[in-house]
Structure 1
Amino acid sequence: MPAPAHLPYAPARRAGAALALFASAQFLVVLNTSVVNVALPAVGRALGTGPTGLTWVVNAYLLAFGTLLPVGGRLADVFGRRRGFVAGLVLFTAGSLAAGIPLGTGALIAARAVQGAGAAVLSPAALVLLLAQSPPGPVRGRALGLWGAASAAGGAAGVLLGGVLTDALGWWSVFAVSAVAAVPVLLSVPGLVPRDARDRTGSLDLPGALAMTTGLLLLVYGFGSRDGSVVRDLVPAAGIFLLLALVSIERRAEDPLVPPVLLRNRSVVAGNLLMLPLGTVWVGTFFFLPLYQQKVLGYGPLTAGLTQLPLAGALMAASALAGRLRGTLVPGLVVLAAGLFWLARLPLDGAFLADLLGPTILIGLGLGLAFVPLTALGVTGVDAPHTGVAGGLVNTTRQVGGALGLAVLASLAAPAHGTAAAGPAALAHGYRRAFAGAALIAVLTAIGAAVHQRTGARTTTGAPQGAGEREPS
C-alpha cells in the first residue's frame, strides 16, 4: 500500500517514537481478542453469566471489530487518519472502562461491542499512519515487521496477562488495564502524529456498511442461539439475505466498501474463503481451552495463562518461519488438525506435560504456518491502490469467521455444558465435541487449500498472475 501523499514522513528523530506509538495501539487491539478468555469462568461466577452469555462476551468484540473494519478504514480516509486514530482510541478506552464496571452481563457485552467498534476505527488508521511515516524500502519493511510483532505479542500477552490480572485483582482488571494503557498513547498523539490535510478522500458507502454489519450480526446471532422458535430460525436467513443484497448494493455504489475488482480476483476470494474457517478454529481453540483447564482440570487463572505460553510461543515462531518459506499452508492446516484431534481425546484428569503440552504446541505451529500464507494469498495480484482494502478484508474475514464459528462450536458443546450444574465429566465431553468440530473444520480447510493450489497451478502455467506475482502457498 503506498503512503498517502498528504501524510508526510516523520522527521528521523521522531520516526522511531511514532512507529512505537502505532505499534502500541495495535498491541492493545489484539490484546483484547485474547485477554478475556482466561477470565471467563471468573466472569461467569461474578455476574451469574451462563455459557451463551460468556460466548457473547468474546463475540461482541470480535463481531464489532470484524464487521466495522471496512467502515472504520473508510471513515479514516474520509475524515482524516489522525482524527480516526484519536476517535478510535477514545471509543476503545471508553469501552474498556465500561467493561470493567460490574453492572451485569448485558452491560459487559455492550461495553465489549463499544471496544470492538473503537478498535475497528483505530487499527486501520494506525496502519496507514505507520506506512505514511515509513519510506518505501527497508525502512517500511522494518516498520511492518514491528507491526506484525506487536500483533503477535498482543495475542500472546493477552493469554498470560489475563491469568495474572484475574488471579491478583479480579476479572474486571483485564478490561481496566487496556484503558490505563491507552492513556499514554492518547497523550502522545499531539507530538508524534502529523495533522490531517483539509482535503478528504472518497465517501462513506452507508447502505453497504449497514447491509454488511447488520447481515453479519444477524447471521452470527442466529447461529449462536439455541432457541427453536420459528422467528429465531428466520434470523440467520435474514442475515444471508442482507449479505446477498450487499453484492447488488456494492455494484451500484459510487465508492463501494469492497471494490468489485477484488471480488473478481481469484486469489483474494480464495484467501478470504479459507481465512473464514481458520478464524473459527483460532478463536474456538482459545475460547474452549481455558474453560477446559479451569472447569475440568481445576487450574486457577494464573496457571491456565502460564500453560498456554507454549502455544503462543509456537505460534510466534511458526509465523516467523512461514514468512521465509513457501508451501506451508496445507502442512500447517494438517498439523493444526492433528493438534485439535489430540485435544478432542483429552482425559478427565489430564496432566499438562502428558496431555496438553503436545497438542497445544502442534496447534500453535499449525496456526502460524497457515495464517501467514493465507494473509498473503488475500492480497496476491492486487493493484497498489487496493492493497490496503484487500488486507483489511482478510482481517475482517478472520474476525467474523471467529465470531460465527464460536457460535457454531458453542452449540456443539451445549448439550454438555448448557447448565451451571454440569459436572466435570459432562463439561469435558462438551469441550471434546468442540475440539473435534474444530479439527474437522481444519481438515476441510486443508482440502480446500489443496484444491485451490492444484487448480491455481494449472491456470497460472504460462500466464503470470497479476503483475507477475505468484500465489503464496
Structure 2
Amino acid sequence: MSTSASRALLTDLRGVATPGTHPRRTAQRDRWLRHMTLHTARRGHAPNAAPSPTVIRQKGPSTLRAGTAPPSRPTLLALLVLSAAAGLDAGSVAVLNSALPALGAEFGAAPQALSWAVSGYALAFAGLLLAGGALADRFPRRRVLTAGLLALAAGALPAVAATDFWMVAAGRVLQGAGAAITIPAATALVADLYPAGPARSRALGVFASAQAGSYGAGLVLGGVLTGAAGWRLVFAVQGASALLTALAAVRVLPEGAPDRGRSVDPVGGAALVATVVLLVLGVDLLSHRGAGRLFAVTAVAGAVGAGTLWWRRGGDALFDRALLRIAAVRTSAATAVAFYFCVNGSLFFVPLYLQDVRGMSPAGSGLAVLPVSAAVTVTALLTGRLLERVGARTVLTAGLLLTGAGVAMWCLTDTQSPYWWPVFAGLVVTGIGQGLAFPALTVLGLRGVPQDRQGAASAVTATALQIGSGLGPAVLAGAASVAGPSVLSGQHVAFVAAAGTVVLAGGVVAGVRRAW
C-alpha cells in the first residue's frame, strides 16, 4: 500500500461513525492505522511513494525542509537560461565600451555626447529596478523576464539602423529599461526554483559568476566584432542573443505564481522612479565642473523632493515599504552601496593609471584589467559551497576585506611599477573578494523575505549597488582632485578612501550579528 493510499484510508476510517464502538477499541484501531501508515512510508518502494524530506539546519530563525534529491536536469537548464539573461546586462555594458571610439568617429560625437550612451542606460536601469521588482511580484515572473529580454532586443534595433548618434542613445535607454525588468525577475525565479539553503547558495553563485564572466567576455567580444565588421555588428549580436534567450525562457522556465491582490499608487510610483533617476543623475554630474555641478545639486534636490512625496503618499507605490522593516534587507542595501562604491570607484582609476602614468593604449588598459573578471567568475562558482559550510555573513565579511586589501595594493604603484605587482596582484585579490561578496550579498538580501516579495527585495539590493556604483567615481574623483597636481598622488588618495570604506563595511558586517 502506498503512503498516499494509507493516509487516505486513515482519513476515511476516522471519518466513519460506527454506532456502539467502544472508545478503547477506537483508540486501538487508530494506533494500528498510524503504525501501518508509518511502516508503509518507511519501506519506500511503493510505486508512487515520495522520497522522505530531509531537515536542513541553517543559520537563521527557522529550519527549512528540502528534498534530498539533487536538482533535476530541467532545473539546471532553467538556471543556465536565467544566468544567460542576467549576463546580458553585464555584457551589454561591456561591449559598448569597446565600440564607443568607432561609434564616435562615425557620427563625429564629442566625448561628452558619447557618455550619454552609457549614462542613458545606467539611468534607465537604476531608475526602473524597483519597478521591475514590483512587476516580478505582481505578474507571472517568466512573462516579466521575457518582456525585459524583448526590450533588450528591441533596443538594439535603433542602434543597428542609426543615422545619428541620438538614435543609439535612445536604444540604450530602452535596453536599460529592459535590463531593469530582467534582473529582478531572474533573481526571483532562481529563488523560486531553489529553496533557501545550500541549493540556493550554489545557484546564486553560478548566477553571479555568469554576470562577471559576461562582463569580461563582453570587453573582448566588443573589440573583436568592432574590428571585424564595425560597431553595428555589436548591437546586432546583442539583440539576437536577447531574442534567443527570451525564446529559451518561454520553453524552459516555470510560469511563476504572482500576487495579484495589491493595487499600485501611480503618483507614488512615478515619484519613486523620479527619486532614483534624479539621485543617480545628480551623483553622476558631481564630478563635472561649472554648470554640471549646478545641475548635480538641482538633481539631488529634486530627488529629495520626489522622495518626500513618495514617502508621504504611503501607498504601495511599486515598492512595499514593509521590506525596509526586515533587517537583512536594510543591512544588505547599505553594504551594497559601500561595496560598489569601492569596486566601481577604484576600477575607474586603474585604467587611468595604466594610460596616464604607464602610457598604455585604451585597448591595452582594457585587456590589462580583465584578470579581475576572471577572478570574480571562478570564485563565484566556488562560493556556493563555501556559503553552505561557513555561512553567508562570514563569506561576505571575507569578501569585503579581501576587496579592500586588493584595492590597498594599488597604493604601492609608482611610475616604474611592473604590471604584475602591484596592479595584477591587486586585480586578482579584488576579484576574489568580489566573487565572495556578491553571491553572499544576494543570499543575505533575500533572507527572511516572503516568497511573493523576492522580486522587490532583489531590486532593493540591485538599486543600492547602482547607487554605490555612481557614487564611487564621483566622490573619489573629487577626493583625488584635492590631493594636488600630481596624478599619481590623487589616485593613491582615491585608493585609500575606497579601501577604507569597504574595510569599514566589512567590520560592521562582522560585528552586527542580529542584522541577519
Kept in 1: contact 2:275–2:302 (CA 8 A)? yes
User: Which residue of the partner structure matches residue 69 of structure 1?
Assistant: 129
User: Which residue of the partner structure matches residue 352 of structure 1?
Assistant: 419
Is 1:236 aligned to residue 300 of structure 2? Answer: yes
Kept in 2: contact 1:62–1:403 (CA 8 A)? no
1:446 counterpart (500, 503, 515): 503
Percent identity over paired residues: 34
- Matched pairs, number: 435
Q: Which amino acid aligns with 1:335?
A: L
The separation in 1 between residues aligned to 2:328 and 2:200, in whole angstroms, is 24
Kept in 1: contact 2:94–2:215 (CA 8 A)? yes
Kept in 1: contact 2:201–2:439 (CA 8 A)? no
The separation in 2 between residues aligned to 1:47 and 1:75, in whole angstroms, is 37
The separation in 1 between residues aligned to 2:449 and 2:186, in whole angstroms, is 22
Normalised TM-score (structure 2)? 0.71
Kept in 2: contact 1:163–1:303 (CA 8 A)? no
Instruction: Point out where structure 2 has 5 or more consecutive residues left out of the alignment.
Output: 1-70
Q: Which amino acid aligns with 1:395?
A: A
**Which structure would you say has the larger RCO, counting Cα contacts within 8 Å and 6 or more residues apart?**
1
User: What RMSD in Å do the two structures reach over aligned CA positions?
Assistant: 3.8
Q: Which amino acid aligns with 1:228?
A: G
Q: Which amino acid aligns with 1:37?
A: N
Higher CA-based Rg:
2
Kept in 2: contact 1:272–1:394 (CA 8 A)? yes
1:185 counterpart (245, 249, 269): 245
The separation in 2 between residues aligned to 1:189 and 1:79, in whole angstroms, is 16
1:151 counterpart (196, 211, 218): 211
Kept in 1: contact 2:340–2:468 (CA 8 A)? yes
1:60: Cα distance to partner?
A: 2.7
Instruction: Point out where structure 1 has 5 or more consecutive residues left out of the alignment.
Output: 1-10, 417-425, 466-470
Kept in 2: contact 1:164–1:301 (CA 8 A)? no
1:443: Cα distance to partner?
A: 1.0
Deviations 1:425-455 (A, max 9, x none): x9x92x873574254133124224424543x
Point out the more displaced range, 134-143 or 89-98: 134-143
The separation in 1 between residues aligned to 2:450 and 2:255, in whole angstroms, is 28
User: Which residue of the partner structure matches residue 150 of structure 2?
Assistant: 90
Query: What secondary structure, in the 3-state scheme, does the structure 2 residue paired with 1:202 have?
Result: coil
1:392 counterpart (451, 459, 471): 459
User: Which residue of the partner structure matches residue 247 of structure 1?
Assistant: 311
2:334 counterpart (273, 276, 293): 273
User: Which residue of the partner structure matches residue 363 of structure 1?
Assistant: 430
* Within-5 A mapping of 1:4-403: 15-43=75-103, 47-49=107-109, 52-100=112-160, 103-132=163-192, 143-193=203-253, 200=260, 202-225=262-285, 226-229=288-291, 232=295, 233-249=297-313, 252-253=314-315, 255-290=316-351, 292-293=353-354, 297=358, 299=360, 303-319=364-380, 320-321=382-383, 323=387, 324-326=389-391, 327-343=394-410, 346-348=413-415, 351-403=418-470
Point out the more displaced range, 374-383 or 136-145: 136-145
Q: Which amino acid aligns with 1:186?
A: A
The separation in 2 between residues aligned to 1:66 and 1:136, in whole angstroms, is 27
Point out the more displaced range, 174-183 or 376-385: 376-385
Normalised TM-score (structure 1)? 0.76
Kept in 1: contact 2:476–2:498 (CA 8 A)? no
For residues 170 and 412 of structure 1, do their structure 2 counterparts lie closer, same or farther at Cα, with a shift above 3 Å needed?
A: farther
The separation in 1 between residues aligned to 2:402 and 2:299, in whole angstroms, is 36
Kept in 2: contact 1:37–1:286 (CA 8 A)? no
